[in-house]
Each structure stands twice: as structure tokens, then as C-alpha cells.
Structure 1
Amino acid sequence: MTWLETVEKSVPLYDLQGSKVGEVKLPNLFSFPVRKDIIRRVYISSLTKKLQPKGRDPMAGRRTPASSFGINLGMARIPRVSGSGEGALAPNTVGGRLAFPPTPRKELAENVNRKEVRLALISALSATSDLSSVRARGHKFSGDVLPIVIRDDFEGMRTTVEALEVLEELGLKEDLNRAKDGIKIRAGKGKMRGRRYVCPKSILVVIGKDDAPLRRSLRNVPGVDVVSARVVGVIHLAPGGQPGRLTVYTESALSKLTQRLGGGLQ
């Protein structure tokens, strides 16, 4: 399929009880081909822009009176501390400084063209409507039509219990349990640095209003993320650079995405 061969698709519209109350025509954004290569590139770019530059003190390893003892002493001519004879100052020696320590001047972020970012976002949105892509990520759900579109009433849920009941009525309980049961202790030193546990990604809820109460209702549910259509990006739709996240959209979110991205690429 080419960019010019996109067609409109219709999906059921659900209410808070999980019942079908009509149909919604999806924007053309959801019928574009999935470009995994560009999605991966833009995901890495988004990830690197969150990195914090770090560096060393320029005088690190240099605050020492060490100096070479000279030649003809039957020992290496590396700078040594007077009295103890320990090596210092020179790189590649025991007790010496680093030759090329990290520097804050290094450019960590990978820049990507705006058109590539736009293309990746459209492709990632399209992947949320592809059953094979969603199942390839390991999501578990009942139903054969994606994405899931629900009425705007869902954004007004003020308690976690109510919001979870709606997700369960939509047939997403199995995926919620998958994320909850998949929580494990991180391997490596990250355990000691405030990120002891890792949790699989589960449902993404895209809403129309930035300040909807649903944000607070689902903020502590394992694996579930709530993001507004105004700022949703590849890093939300394709965690790890793999497209096809199980996504729930509200009616207003679809209209906001259409306003933001138009009909796709021109």
C-alpha cells in the first residue's frame, strides 16, 4: 500500500459499560503503512533527548604533586608521588587519571528531520489498528477490531476502581494482569539507583483534554499510561521502538489527532 492508497475504516464506539453504541470512522492516519525503520529511528531520537549530559571536573586526577623521578633508576618514568612511589597523574597507570573522561560538551541527542518525525508518528498510530502488530508486542485482549474507541465520558472517571471496571468491560483485563504479573526486580546496579523494579508496558489511553481526571485515576495502574492527543508521540505509541501498543482512544482524541496531523502526509 502506498501513501495515496489509504482508505477510511470504521470501528465500533463503546460506552462505559463496554456496549457498542455506534460506529466511528477512523481518520486516514490509521490506514497508512507501518514503517518500522523510521519508527525505530525517531524513538531513539526521542530517547536520547531525555538524557542528561554528564562530565568530569577538568582537574580530576591532576591535583597531585606527583612527578617523574627521572631516568637511569631501573623503573618506569611515570609520575610518582614522592615518599610512597605510587603512580599518579599519567593515564593508563595504577592510580592515574582517565585519558578521555566523559565530557558535557558531547552531543547526546540524535536529531531527526521534522518530516521523519511526522511520518513515524503517523506510522505508529496506524500500527495501533493492526492486529498482527499489537499481538506481536505480546498484548492480550478479547476482540478482533482495533483500535478501541470509547465515548468521552471515560475521561471524567475520578476513581481508579471505576476506570479499571471500564477497561475490564472492554475486554482488556487479561492485559492488565499480564503487566501486573510481569513486574520484576531489575538486573544490574539500577536496583540501587531508584529504579529497582521494571514493569511491562500495557494499555495506552489517548485522551482529548490535557487536564482530564482520568490521568489521576490510572496513574498508579501497572503498565498503563494516559497521554493527551496534543503531545502523544512515538515514545508512547511504540515503547522500545516496536510499534503496535494496545491503545484506547476517546472520540475527542481522534478529532484532536486529525487537527494536529491533518489527513496524513501531503
Structure 2
Amino acid sequence: MMSLQQEMKVRVLKADGEEDGETSIPSFITQLEVEDYLVRRAFLAQQSRRLQPQGRDPMAGKRTTAESWGVGYGIARVPRTERGVARFAPMAVKGRLAHPPRVEKKIRKEINKKEYRKAFLSALSATFNKDAVEKRGHRVGEAKIPIVFTEDVEKLSKTREVVELLEKIGLSQEVERIYGRPRIRSGKSKWRGRRLRRRVGPLIVVSNMRASIVKAASGIPGVDVKTPDRVSVMDLAPGGHPGRLTIWSLPALNKMVERVRKYVA
């Protein structure tokens, strides 16, 4: 277990992008080894909680008086009505399903509590690693990771102000990426309400969901705003891939440190 005394020094920025001192982050957050396979497991376990159980009426397609005529008629031996129309069989009109979804099927993937906590710490640690952030596809350029702002950043009330701030701290390429032309999905999913693929942008962590920046940042595609107590592996590692670009307000960062401190105690 790492010593809780070791710390990483991080600069703190004002809401206008200028530097306003520095803060420290314990190394049990910033220097933890990123375990991709564990993050992936935790993501899938949490994602499976959103699945809706599917099922069919066990008698669907079977409520018929049709019976097989047997052999000797030169036709298939499927159940038929008196008029000779096939019923009941999976390939017949109004027939049953061959392999319908079962209500009792186990669709949730389980993960132990300690494993999930370790995966959360691993995903959190990746957000403080510039190499991991760039590997995930974010274009951070010359910006320094992690990005921490004073509490004043939570008072931004216009989407334009948030975008200008991101550009001012060196994330112009990231803004261009998330505002870029959306990609059209392949396959049938584009017929079913999932036509476009949304690019995942930065995660903004604030201390209060009533802050003005929550509504302002919601106008930027791919950007999510969360409080420290609501941040999960799905937020830190969308798709199960750790290293999401994360922007913190100083009070939110302090709350997150207090939240995860008990995980390593």
C-alpha cells in the first residue's frame, strides 16, 4: 500500500484561464497502476444494470386448434387448420418463436465490491495520466493534465464561455473534435434511433449540480457534468476504455479525494 503522505503538485487555474496557485493530490490516486481488464469488467457490470429483462408469453403462437395431418398427403407434416393453413411451427405465419428470450435469463454481470472499488481507482488514476488520456483519443495538445479550476468556474452560465475557456487553456483541437462531423453508424442500428455516433468529450466534475456551468456545459456535444458522489466507472471510462479527459473544480477534487481515501485506508 502506498503512503498517503506522498502528493502530486497540480496548478489551479482561474475561470479566465490564468494560474492561481497550486494544490496537491495524493499519490494513491495519481500513481495507481491502470488495470484495463478490471476497468472493462466494472464497466460491463454497471452497464448491465441498465438492461431491461425481456420475455415472451409461453403460449404465444400455440393457441390454435391446428393438428398435423400425418403422412400420405404429399405435404409437410406441420400442424394445419381445417383449411390446410400451417400454424404452430416456427416457420409458419402466426407460429411460435423457435428460441424466444426468457425472463429468467441472467443478464446482469456481477463484480465484487472490492474489485469495483479498485477498478474505480484505476479509472480515476488514468484521468490524471496524459498518456492515457491521449491514448483514449482526446486531443489535449500542450495542455497540462490534470486540469483543475477554482470554484469560480462553476459560475459560468453560457455555453460560449465554457467553449472559450477550453480553447484558452489549450484544448482547441479537442473542441474541434467533439464539434466535428458526426459519424453514421453501420448496420441496422441507424434505423433504430441510433443513427449517429456521438463523440465522447471531457467530463466536468463540479461540487454542486445547481451550479450555472451544469446547464452551460450541457450545450456542448459529448460533455458530461457530474458531482464527485455521482461519478462512476461509466463516466471515467466510457466504453470500458480508461483515460477520459476530466476537468475539476477545486472543491469537487477535494470531495473526490475524501471519497476514495477510505478505499485505500
Q: TM-score, normalising length from structure 2?
A: 0.91
1:141 Cα deviation from its structure 2 partner: 1.6
Question: Structure 2 unaligned runs (5+)?
Answer: none
Q: Which amino acid aligns with 2:17?
A: G
* Distance 1:29-1:264 versus aligned 2 partners, 3 A rule: farther
Matched residue of 1:110: which SS? coil
Taking the aligned partners of 1:158 and 1:136, their CA distance within structure 2 comes to: 31
Paired residue for 1:262? 261
Q: Could you give the per-residue CA deviations for residues 51-84 of structure 1, whole angstroms, max 9, x where no partner exists?
A: 112222222212333211123434433212221x
Paired residue for 1:201? 200
1:4 Cα deviation from its structure 2 partner: 2.5
Paired residue for 1:62? 62
Paired residue for 2:46? 46
1:186 Cα deviation from its structure 2 partner: 2.4
- Kept in 1, the 8 Å contact 2:163–2:175? The answer is no
Paired residue for 1:4? 2
1:182 Cα deviation from its structure 2 partner: 4.4
Q: Could you give the per-residue CA deviations for residues 9-56 of structure 1, whole angstroms, max 9, x where no partner exists?
A: 111111112111111101332221111111000001111111112222
Paired residue for 1:80? 80
Taking the aligned partners of 1:225 and 1:143, their CA distance within structure 2 comes to: 23
Q: Which amino acid aligns with 2:30?
A: F
| Identity, % of aligned positions | 38
Taking the aligned partners of 1:182 and 1:147, their CA distance within structure 2 comes to: 27
Paired residue for 1:111? 110
Taking the aligned partners of 2:174 and 2:97, their CA distance within structure 1 comes to: 48
- Kept in 1, the 8 Å contact 2:143–2:169? The answer is no
Paired residue for 1:120? 119
Taking the aligned partners of 2:79 and 2:88, their CA distance within structure 1 comes to: 6
* Distance 1:224-1:162 versus aligned 2 partners, 3 A rule: same
1:160 Cα deviation from its structure 2 partner: 0.9
Matched residue of 1:22: which SS? strand
Matched residue of 1:181: which SS? coil
Taking the aligned partners of 1:48 and 1:183, their CA distance within structure 2 comes to: 26
- Kept in 1, the 8 Å contact 2:68–2:78? The answer is yes
1:87 Cα deviation from its structure 2 partner: 2.6
Paired residue for 2:135? 136
Q: Which amino acid aligns with 1:142?
A: G
* Distance 1:69-1:171 versus aligned 2 partners, 3 A rule: same
1:148 Cα deviation from its structure 2 partner: 0.6
- Kept in 2, the 8 Å contact 1:67–1:79? The answer is yes
Number of matched residues? Answer: 262
Matched, 1:183 2:171: no
Matched, 1:156 2:138: no
Q: Which amino acid aligns with 2:131?
A: S
* Distance 1:141-1:127 versus aligned 2 partners, 3 A rule: same
1:214 Cα deviation from its structure 2 partner: 1.2
The 5 Å alignment of 1:2-41 reads: 3-4=1-2, 7-27=6-26, 28-41=28-41
Taking the aligned partners of 1:55 and 1:188, their CA distance within structure 2 comes to: 25
Taking the aligned partners of 1:143 and 1:264, their CA distance within structure 2 comes to: 33
RMSD after superposition: 1.9
Matched residue of 1:209: which SS? coil
Taking the aligned partners of 2:15 and 2:76, their CA distance within structure 1 comes to: 78
- Kept in 1, the 8 Å contact 2:143–2:171? The answer is no
* Distance 1:215-1:12 versus aligned 2 partners, 3 A rule: same
